[in-house]
Amino acid sequence: MLELEYKKQKKALIIRKTLDSLYPNPKSTLYHINEYTLLIAIILSAKSRENKVNEVTDYLFEIIKKPKDFIITPTVIIKEYLRNIGLYNRKYNHIYNLSNILLKEYKGIIPKNIYQLESLPGVGHKTASVFLSHVSEIPVFPVDTHIHRMMFRWKLSNGKNVKKTEKDAKSIFKKIYWKKLHFQIINYGREYSPSINWNKNRDIIYKKLLINNLL
């Protein structure tokens, strides 16, 4: 048991040091101009490519900047922007409904309480966590497909589900690193350890863990 824990901590140290050298100041690449547009962008990015979402929001956020803008803008106009994003009808309805709630219950301000966030239409645990990781110091560790994949490849989680991966990640890495690691691991997964056409020889962390007999 002690040996297993030692191996986990050794892995964690190698992972953190490598990520810090590659991405010392990681930032989100999801385009937004304020907290409201950030939440919209996160909702739109579910099951959609970030670069496609950024293409859309680059134009959309010229007319949509606050909840009232979304409510008063004709549906047909907004859907014309969103039509190339997956599940855009459902996402439109979620954003319209949450915009109404924000105006009626929160004076247009997005709450920073994770439970209040999760009660909003279209905002699940991951979306709420991602939002908070951008705008607050609340310790959250959102797990997307990249982080889920990397934790499994590094044998730090069994890949059973995202909830289990998040629990494992939080138990292995200290809270002070969660926010930074969220962005770092996503960037690393995209650049060095993709789900398709994975080249183990390019995967720096995987190779280091292999050399140290940690896989």
82 vs 47, more confident: 82
* Domain annotation for the chain: domains and CATH numbers: 2-27+140-211 (1.10.1670.10), 35-135 (1.10.340.30)
Mean pLDDT of the chain: 95
What is the distance between the alpha carbons of residues 23 and 148, in angstroms, rounded to a whole number? 19
Q: CB under 8 Å to 45, separation ≥6 — which residues?
A: 30, 53
65 vs 28, more confident: 65
What is the distance between the alpha carbons of residues 113 and 131, in angstroms, rounded to a whole number? 11
Nearest to 192 by CA among 19, 73, 9: 19
What is the distance between the alpha carbons of residues 48 and 189, in angstroms, rounded to a whole number? 16
Cα→Cα distances 60→24, 63, 78, 179, 204, Å: 31, 6, 8, 28, 38
- Lookup: tokens for 180: 């930074």
**pTM score of the predicted model:** 0.89
Q: What is the pLDDT of residues 174-201, one digit of tens each?
A: 999 999 999 999 999 999 999 999 999 9
Burial 92-109 (b: 16+ CB within 10 A, else e): bebbbebbeebbeeeeee
Residues found in the chain:
215
Q: pLDDT band at 145, cuts 50/70/90?
A: very high
- Residue 97: the pLDDT is 98
Asked if residue 28 has pLDDT above 90, the reply is no
Q: What is the pLDDT of residues 154-173, one digit of tens each?
A: 999 998 899 999 999 999 99
Q: Is the dihedral of CA 154, 203, 199, 126 positive or negative?
A: positive
Q: pLDDT band at 26, cuts 50/70/90?
A: very high
Q: What is the pLDDT of residues 109-127, one digit of tens each?
A: 999 999 999 999 999 999 9
